[in-house]
Structure 1
Amino acid sequence: MISAIAWVRKGAAKETPKKFEMDEHEYARLSEKLLTARADLDSAQNMQDPTEQMQVDSEPIDPDLAEFDLENYDAPASTNTDPAIQDEDEDEAQGSSASIFGNLRGLTYHGSNQEDPYVTLKDEADTEAAEEEAQDLRILPSDNLILSARTEDDISHVEVYVYEAADDNLYVHHDLMLPAFPLCVEWLGSAPSSSSSLTQGSFVAVGTFDPEIEIWDLDVMDAMYPVAILGEKTSPAPPGPGPKKGKRSKKTLGPAISSTHHTDAIMSLAWNTAHPHLLASSSADTTVKLWDLNSSTCAHSFNHHTGKVQTVAWNPVQSTVLLTASYDRSVQCLDSRTPDTLTTFSLSSDPETARWDPHQPAHFYVATEDGIVRAWDLRQPSSPLWTLHAHDSPVSALDINPRIPGCLVTGGVDKLVKIWDIADGKPSMVLSRDLGAGKVFTAAFCPDAPQHLAVAGSQGRLNVWDMSGNPGARRAFGSRATWSSEPAQEEKNPIALADADQDMDSDDEGNEALDPMGDDSAEDV
């Protein structure tokens, strides 16, 4: 499945991405992380209850198996009877174990002789292959990137797609492996660096079920480790004395709240384009945090919600105004400079997502689990401007077209994607489609081309749809839209790239998938 997507503007990516190289700096950084991971493992083993270990050690051994010494089955055998030589063997075994992470510099893999610095004779075939590969990896200034958080067979990664609108071409350029199921992705134009300052470029922040935020460099291929981790775990403290005998230890309900890092899954991320050093995050631990990318530390933690915080979003004009939507069935609006002043908006169901209107910065829209979309004016919190029953299932995807005023898209668990005209304050459906994405989890308009819409969901494939070819869309938005290219005269199937091994005739629950552009799945109003 694909749980989140994000567009990258044209020209933001480096034209020729570089391949990851294990230099001295990367070697030292990776070695430090591996040693920390090993220390965490040792600490976790040391925290085991001694009484449990004693019980394991005191288990009787079957007399018939005692002669085989199975407990030491994997220990290296020594044929020497000299005690001094046996001690040397043991030291060598311990040394090889201790240096298990010490040979990283000798594991460099080169795709061809052209890349191997130790091969001095470069043949013509390798040179041509290297040039062809470099041309294939080139990202043109006219190309958009789409970041897709995909999980398949318990393996999660961010796929970096290249979308060539002129040729209707969509392909995976490279991917990034993730440690846990991803819930959100956010493109960043800057990221932390070792010099305690921001590095300009193209990056992605990823929130997962883990309470950490990973930031990856999109201009580096085959990277082994993110450039930064916000709220990174520290080694656990050594175990202290247990509870006194006869007294019951208190159990905490849910994760403890910390002012320096999240303690539960990261639900949403929002980069502040006006203040590039600020990144906002919301979490299932009920907190919202502001991260200072200059120092990779938490600058402020907000605790104004009592339930999981599903969405966080910066106002497109008032760059210090933050919108948060929570499972406590409320939406809160605050100014990060005066966080104690809150404006509260009540909901009838749990929120799925929320978006500001870039054309009317005082307006925002909230989609909820009961299939309802509500429009609110920040200055009138008492009641919504309008209420729309958009789907008969949870509205799991919502976005506002940044280039066409009044154009809104919703996607639901009912597998439908709907385009709405909300310009006059009376929402009307323009068209409805089943794009073959399965249950729709995410949908986003392209920031450069108003007619391009990316949709993904439970089927695990990314769809890019040019809605300008639909007559209903042309009639509804033709006078307001400034198309980035000549509008299509007839509607085309959405561009999609799917796994060749995936059965595209059925969704993840075994139900038949409708024809993406068939009569049974299309409805124009």
Structure 2
Amino acid sequence: MISAAAWIARGKAARNPTKYNVEDEAELERVAKLTNVHFDDAKEQLAKAQKAAANWNREGRQQDEAGDGWEDDDDDDDDDGGIKDDEKTAEAAAGAGQEVVADDATMDTDDANDLAKYNLDSYDNDAEEENAGQLGAFSNIKGLQFYRNNDEDPYITMKEEDEDEDREELEVLPTDNLIVCAKTEDEVSLLEAYVYSSEDSNLYVHHDLMLPSFPLCLEWLDYKPAGHGADQNSAPGTKGSFIAVGTMDPEIEIWSMDVVEGLFPDALLGRRDLTEALNGPKGTGKKKKKLPKVRVANPNYHVDAVLSLSWNRKVPNLLCSASADKTIKLWDLSRPSETTSTSGGVGALRSFDSVHTDKVQSVAWDDSGKARGSINRPATLLSGSYDKTLAVFDTRSPDSTVRAGVASDVECVKWNPWREHNFFVSMEDGLVQSFDARVLSSSSKAPTPSSTPTLFTLSAHDGGCTSLDISPHIPGCLATAGTDKLVKLWSIDEDYSGTSSNEPGAKPKGISMVTSRDLDAGKIFSASFSPDEPLSLAVAGSRGVLRVWDTLANVGVRKTFGERLSQVKGGAPAIDGKEPSRGDGVVRVADDDDDDDDDEGPDGEGGDERMQE
């Protein structure tokens, strides 16, 4: 299954990714600090094994010494007598100048196997002498020069061609997008980086990275974190292409997507050296069941699974995380871990422990109105929880929090880039609601759904609405996806050119569904718009396959959003006249069509289900 996916915009990824250099001394030092707790355990286990081996050898020697006292005197006497007789015979023959010749009648049966008559000891010497003149230029083979590997041999030129082929295969063109997916298959979790070329509708796997635990969320960022030295070749704060990963573990891993065959993350947010003990059992209950250890919230690090991540594009060194430990934490990516901990990762900059009373499912920095060039509240944060509340607060003064109540568990929250203070929320019951933060209550009393003003309520899906996104290119274009395997496109009718729609509490004129489609990806867990193509969606779910849906292939989409497409910055794609052939609009990885149907469940979906938190 694919539990999360994230786009990387064109030109953000390195054109020629580098390969992980495990022999670099600086990298080895960084990894040693990052995994210090594991090295200590390994050393301790090695010391125990050596001690046990020494004890075993000591006991073995004592047993051998105790058994050396037993001897067979009769056999020794017979053997000694035989040896002495042979020696006397040989001495007598030597004194007489004669050779000792054994009589055939008196030879032992073992002498029949004697190979001395074949002169095997000098056989090789004779062959070398005979062939010495026939080897010609190779007769002095000891003078040839040897190389440790083919790269050092000047007579081997094919290596350059192989390197060129590898470089060409890994090249990411400026017109290519990367799509990073968090995939789990056969209990193995990894990051898969796909290259998507919209020009020729091509999608293929570029490289992958192994993960230590089940991944739950992804967030792309271009800020190189400090960590334990982070990247091998650059300083903290420089531009790059990184993916932050939240997993079932309490730590957040940050990986460089410009390095292939990576073995260790570039930074680790959290304290793995302190949280690893939480995975063990607390004890044994009356029914012989292992009891999990109590996870007490800590202000410096998460103690439970990381469910959501959000990177602040206005303050690029800030990353926000939400966890099943009921807390929200801020991380300063510019601080090296040595300033916050001795080993195991980086400590949090700040923790918000009282915003919610249950697991925090989703967080998002306020970027409302960014599509219209207005981001005036970079410190404002939106969060949604299983306590059925939404919270909007300034991270500098969290006491001034406004809240909204909903009727079901929150799945996803998203700010509207086309309208300030406006945000959306999707829920487990399939509903999607829209709110204006300016009209929400700041009362400390928990809000109820009936007391919370909404801009609209949409019954989007029969099952849970697991994902939603709004196009950064087309005003009012909303995408939703759910466990009913459907991806839907909606049109929100508002006056985006005027100011009336931005008044507090102003409701849209209407909302209508434009198209709906089953992309054969199973239950959908992730659906997001491309940062470059106006109406392209990356969709993934329980079947473990990635689909890129160019919705412009749909006639209804072209009719509904045609006028708004004309206002797209940088030029609108052709939607009539000399329109390129779009087929069915769905781009797949070629190997996906060859997968066996045995991996699917009885209803045609993948066997894996979304892990319930």
Shorter-chain TM-score range:
0.7 to 0.9
For residue 517 of structure 1, what is the aligned residue in structure 2?
none
For residue 25 of structure 2, what is the aligned residue in structure 1?
24
The verdict on how the C-alpha distance between 1:166 and 1:118 changes in structure 2, with shifts beyond 3 A counting, is closer
Aligned residues: 450
The verdict on how the C-alpha distance between 1:414 and 1:254 changes in structure 2, with shifts beyond 3 A counting, is farther
Say whether residues 1:170 and 2:203 are aligned partners: yes
The verdict on how the C-alpha distance between 1:44 and 1:309 changes in structure 2, with shifts beyond 3 A counting, is farther
Shift of 1:362: 1.2
RMSD: 3.3
Q: Which has the larger radius of gyration?
A: 2
For residue 352 of structure 2, what is the aligned residue in structure 1?
302
For residue 38 of structure 2, what is the aligned residue in structure 1?
37
Shift of 1:391: 0.7
Amino acid of the residue matched to residue 285 of structure 1?
Answer: D
For residue 156 of structure 1, what is the aligned residue in structure 2?
189
TM-score normalised according to structure 2 size? 0.68
For residue 342 of structure 2, what is the aligned residue in structure 1?
none
Identity %: 42
Alignment partners' CA distance in 1, 2:314 and 2:381: 13
Amino acid of the residue matched to residue 185 of structure 1?
Answer: L
The verdict on how the C-alpha distance between 1:253 and 1:233 changes in structure 2, with shifts beyond 3 A counting, is closer
The one-character-per-residue Cα deviations of 1:147-204 (angstroms, maximum 9, x if unpaired) are 1000000000111111111011111111111000000011111122339842321111
Say whether residues 1:144 and 2:177 are aligned partners: yes
Q: Give the match's secondary structure for 1:37.
A: helix
Q: Which has the higher helix share?
A: 2
The verdict on how the C-alpha distance between 1:116 and 1:384 changes in structure 2, with shifts beyond 3 A counting, is farther
Give yes or no for contact 1:458–1:507 (8 Å, CA) kept in 2: no
Alignment of 1:109-120 (within 5 A): 119-120=152-153
Alignment partners' CA distance in 2, 1:331 and 1:405: 24
Alignment partners' CA distance in 2, 1:477 and 1:237: 51
For residue 211 of structure 1, what is the aligned residue in structure 2?
250
Q: Give the match's secondary structure for 2:26.
A: helix
Q: Which has the higher strand share?
A: 1
The one-character-per-residue Cα deviations of 1:209-248 (angstroms, maximum 9, x if unpaired) are 000000111111111111110013225899xxx99xxxxx
Shift of 1:429: 0.5
Name the stretch that deviates more: 193-202 or 436-445.
Answer: 193-202
Q: Give the match's secondary structure for 1:198.
A: coil
The one-character-per-residue Cα deviations of 1:124-159 (angstroms, maximum 9, x if unpaired) are 322112111111111111111111000000000111
For residue 403 of structure 1, what is the aligned residue in structure 2?
473
Counterpart among 410, 427, 433 of residue 374 in structure 1: 433
The verdict on how the C-alpha distance between 1:165 and 1:489 changes in structure 2, with shifts beyond 3 A counting, is closer
Say whether residues 1:421 and 2:491 are aligned partners: yes
Alignment partners' CA distance in 2, 1:233 and 1:437: 34
Amino acid of the residue matched to residue 308 of structure 1?
Answer: K
The verdict on how the C-alpha distance between 1:491 and 1:376 changes in structure 2, with shifts beyond 3 A counting, is farther
Give yes or no for contact 2:408–2:428 (8 Å, CA) kept in 1: yes
Name the stretch that deviates more: 34-43 or 211-220.
Answer: 34-43
The one-character-per-residue Cα deviations of 1:10-53 (angstroms, maximum 9, x if unpaired) are 111111111111211112223344552143578999xxxxxxxx
Alignment partners' CA distance in 2, 1:35 and 1:192: 19
Q: Give the match's secondary structure for 2:160.
A: helix
For residue 7 of structure 1, what is the aligned residue in structure 2?
7
Counterpart among 573, 584, 589 of residue 485 in structure 1: 573
Amino acid of the residue matched to residue 289 of structure 1?
Answer: K
Give yes or no for contact 1:372–1:389 (8 Å, CA) kept in 2: yes
For residue 257 of structure 1, what is the aligned residue in structure 2?
297
Amino acid of the residue matched to residue 125 of structure 1?
Answer: M
Alignment of 1:241-256 (within 5 A): 254-256=294-296
Structure 2 unpaired stretches of 5+: 47-51, 66-146, 284-290, 336-345, 368-374, 441-451, 495-507, 607-613
TM-score normalised according to structure 1 size? 0.79
Alignment partners' CA distance in 1, 2:480 and 2:58: 69
The verdict on how the C-alpha distance between 1:236 and 1:431 changes in structure 2, with shifts beyond 3 A counting, is closer
Alignment partners' CA distance in 2, 1:115 and 1:267: 49
Amino acid of the residue matched to residue 362 of structure 1?
Answer: H
The verdict on how the C-alpha distance between 1:340 and 1:44 changes in structure 2, with shifts beyond 3 A counting, is farther
Give yes or no for contact 2:151–2:159 (8 Å, CA) kept in 1: no
Shift of 1:117: 8.3
Counterpart among 213, 233, 242 of residue 272 in structure 2: 233
Alignment partners' CA distance in 2, 1:281 and 1:399: 19
Counterpart among 582, 587, 590 of residue 495 in structure 1: 587
Alignment of 1:296-375 (within 5 A): 296-303=346-353, 304-316=355-367, 317=375, 318-375=377-434
Alignment partners' CA distance in 2, 1:442 and 1:150: 12
Give yes or no for contact 1:505–1:513 (8 Å, CA) kept in 2: no
For residue 100 of structure 2, what is the aligned residue in structure 1?
none
Q: Give the match's secondary structure for 2:349.
A: strand
Structure 1 unpaired stretches of 5+: 46-71, 86-113, 244-250, 515-525
Q: Give the match's secondary structure for 1:341.
A: strand
The verdict on how the C-alpha distance between 1:399 and 1:116 changes in structure 2, with shifts beyond 3 A counting, is farther
Q: Give the match's secondary structure for 1:29.
A: helix
Shift of 1:337: 1.5
The verdict on how the C-alpha distance between 1:237 and 1:454 changes in structure 2, with shifts beyond 3 A counting, is closer
The verdict on how the C-alpha distance between 1:413 and 1:314 changes in structure 2, with shifts beyond 3 A counting, is same
The verdict on how the C-alpha distance between 1:140 and 1:348 changes in structure 2, with shifts beyond 3 A counting, is same
Q: Give the match's secondary structure for 1:188.
A: strand
